[in-house]
Amino acid sequence: MKADSVIKCPSCNENTHVVQATQNVQNFGEVLITAIKCDKCGYRFTDVMSTEFNDAVEFKALIEKEDDLSIKVIKSSSGTIEIPEMGIEIEPGPASDGYITNVEGLIVRIEEAFSVIINSSKGKQKEKAEKKLNELIEAKNGRKKFTLIIKDPYGNSALVGRNAEKRMLSEAEAKKLIGGIAVIEKNP
Please give the single-letter amino acid code of residue 187: N
For residue 4, the model assigns a pLDDT of 81
CATH number where 175 lies: 2.60.120.1040
Looking at the 3D structure of the chain, how many domains does it have? Answer: 2
Helix/strand/coil for 151: strand
Contact of 134 with 143, CB cutoff 8 Å? no
For residue 95, the model assigns a pLDDT of 74
For residue 188, the model assigns a pLDDT of 42
**107 and 174 part of one domain:** yes
For residue 31, the model assigns a pLDDT of 87
Q: How would you classify residue 117: left for phi > 0, otherwise alpha for psi between -120 and 50, otherwise beta? A: alpha
For residue 1, the model assigns a pLDDT of 61
The three-point CA angle 40-43-45 to 5° equals 140
Structure confidence by residue, pLDDT tens digits, 135-185? 999 999 989 999 999 999 989 899 999 899 999 999 889 888 885 433 333
**28 and 98 part of one domain:** no
**146 and 76 part of one domain:** yes
For residue 181, the model assigns a pLDDT of 34
**118 and 31 part of one domain:** no
**81 and 43 part of one domain:** no
Q: Where are the alpha helices (DSSP H) in 73-102?
A: none
**Residue 161: which domain range?**
53-188
Collect the ranges in the chain with pLDDT lower than 50. Answer: 180-188
Closest residue by Cα to residue 163 from 63, 28, 56, 29:
63
At which of 52, 79, 94 does a domain end? 52
For residue 27, the model assigns a pLDDT of 66
